[in-house]
């Protein structure tokens, strides 16, 4: 089962990202989009509803405070998704992130907070060792629906990644270590189809673009990483059981209505692989 070809691995090593086309069946993606609108309590067919989420449920850039819907876990525990991360990381004993979904509506002057655009790094580039080790930590985004280049989806600057050490050496000492100076560079949008999974190195300068299309952009964020400590495992299992957001994390405020905790009975169902990806079962016991 060759989820990633040699050419795709080489592309990732050189450019800092790779898009795996059609990795997730569209039916799985459609169920997550349905879950987004169930969480928002709105009718997706009415464009006015794109800009009127319940208070605190959809924040900057269209991030929706939904973490544990069964449709999201069904995708996280797909063998193909796991195989893709395992192949790129060269690691089998992985955990999956407990992250959110995105519904980014088209630009509107009175709703600018739902459609920001900025390029950043997912790590502090001021403390990197030399030589810089690439490909050790990754992030991922699943295209839940077809996303055109002007639709506010993933964009990146692979040219900075190509020569990252030289680029950083040219920057002033007081630079922002998480926001690159793009003088002389241009962000490149990466369009995709429903079911495409894009995985990128945290050292790749990236972000979302402005949605200048006429329909929303839909996405689910996820990554995988080596299993962690017993304390971390207990926290993850607790979040799963309670359908809750990560605690005390400013980037993940959670839903003030507690919709996930009240709309469902019990935690999402997990496959044998999903139990290991959560941490409910240890990989060493498999």
The whole-number pLDDT of residue 2 equals 58
The whole-number pLDDT of residue 114 equals 86
**Residue 19, helix vs strand vs coil:** strand
219 cis-preceded (ω within 30 degrees of 0): no
CB-side neighbour CA atoms (13 Å) of 150: 6
The whole-number pLDDT of residue 59 equals 82
Residue environment code for 74-113, b if the CB has 16+ CB neighbours within 10 A, otherwise e: bbbbbebbbbbbbbbbeeeebbbbbbbbbbbbbeeeeeee
The whole-number pLDDT of residue 268 equals 98
Locate all alpha helices (DSSP H) within the chain, ordered by sequence.
6-15, 26-40, 70-76, 79-89, 158-162, 164-169, 230-242, 259-263, 272-278
Q: Which two tokens stand for residue 262?
A: 């009240």
Q: Which two tokens stand for residue 30?
A: 């459609």
Contact between 235 and 229 under an 8 Å Cβ cutoff? The reply is no
The CA distance from 286 to 282, in Å, is 7
What does the DSSP 8-state code read for residue 269? P
Kind of pairing, strands 197-201 and 17-20? antiparallel
The whole-number pLDDT of residue 154 equals 98
The whole-number pLDDT of residue 221 equals 98
Contact between 149 and 186 under an 8 Å Cβ cutoff? The reply is no
How many CB atoms within 10 Å of residue 23? 21
Q: Which of the four CATH numbers 2.70.98.90, 1.20.140.10, 3.40.1800.10, 2.60.120.330 does domain 6-285 have? A: 2.60.120.330
Residue environment code for 1-18, b if the CB has 16+ CB neighbours within 10 A, otherwise e: eebbeeebeebbeebbbb
Q: Which residue has the tokens 């992985």?
A: 94
pTM tops 0.85: yes
172: exposed, middle or buried (Cβ count in 10 Å: 0-12, 13-18, 19+)? exposed
Domain boundaries, the chain: 6-285
Backbone angles phi, psi at 143, to 5 degrees: -75, 110
CB-side neighbour CA atoms (13 Å) of 207: 19
Contact between 274 and 286 under an 8 Å Cβ cutoff? The reply is no
Locate all alpha helices (DSSP H) within 70-111, ordered by sequence.
70-76, 79-89
Q: Which residue has the tokens 């509506």?
A: 105
Q: In sequence order, what are the residues at sequence separation of 6 or more whose Cβ sits closer than 8 angstroms to the Cβ of residue 223? A: 85, 96, 97, 99, 138, 139, 140, 199
Tens digit of each residue's pLDDT, the chain (286 residues): 458 999 999 999 999 999 999 999 999 999 999 999 999 999 999 999 999 999 889 888 899 999 999 999 999 999 999 999 999 999 999 999 999 999 999 999 998 888 888 899 999 999 999 999 999 999 999 999 999 999 999 999 999 999 999 999 999 999 999 999 999 999 999 999 999 999 999 999 999 999 999 999 999 999 999 999 999 999 999 999 999 999 888 889 999 999 999 999 999 999 999 999 999 999 975 4
């Amino acid at each position: 089962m060759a989820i990633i070809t040699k050419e795709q691995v080489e592309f990732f090593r050189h450019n800092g990202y790779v898009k795996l086309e059609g990795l997730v069946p569209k039916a799985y993606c459609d169920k997550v989009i349905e879950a987004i609108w169930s969480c928002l309590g709105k009718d997706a067919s009415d464009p006015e509803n794109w800009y009127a989420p319940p208070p605190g449920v959809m924040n900057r850039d269209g991030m929706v405070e939904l973490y544990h819907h069964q449709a999201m876990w069904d995708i996280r525990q797909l063998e193909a998704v796991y195989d893709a991360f395992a192949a790129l990381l060269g690691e089998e004993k992985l955990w999956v992130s407990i992250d959110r979904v995105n519904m980014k509506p088209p630009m509107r002057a009175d709703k600018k907070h739902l459609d920001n655009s900025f390029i950043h790094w997912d790590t502090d580039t001021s403390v990197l060792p030399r030589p810089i080790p690439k490909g050790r930590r990754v992030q991922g985004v699943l295209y839940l629906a077809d996303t055109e280049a002007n639709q506010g989806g993933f964009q990146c600057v692979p040219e900075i990644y190509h020569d990252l050490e030289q680029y950083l050496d040219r920057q002033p000492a007081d630079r922002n270590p998480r926001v690159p100076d793009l003088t002389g560079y241009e962000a490149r949008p990466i369009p995709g189809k429903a079911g495409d999974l894009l995985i990128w190195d945290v050292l790749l300068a990236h972000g979302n673009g402005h949605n200048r299309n006429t329909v929303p952009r839909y996405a689910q964020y996820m990554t995988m990483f080596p299993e962690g400590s017993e304390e971390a495992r207990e926290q993850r299992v607790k979040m799963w059981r309670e359908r809750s957001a990560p605690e005390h994390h400013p980037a993940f405020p959670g839903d003030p209505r507690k919709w996930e905790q009240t709309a469902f009975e019990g935690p999402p169902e997990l496959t044998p692989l999903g139990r290991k990806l959560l941490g409910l079962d240890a990989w060493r016991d498999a």
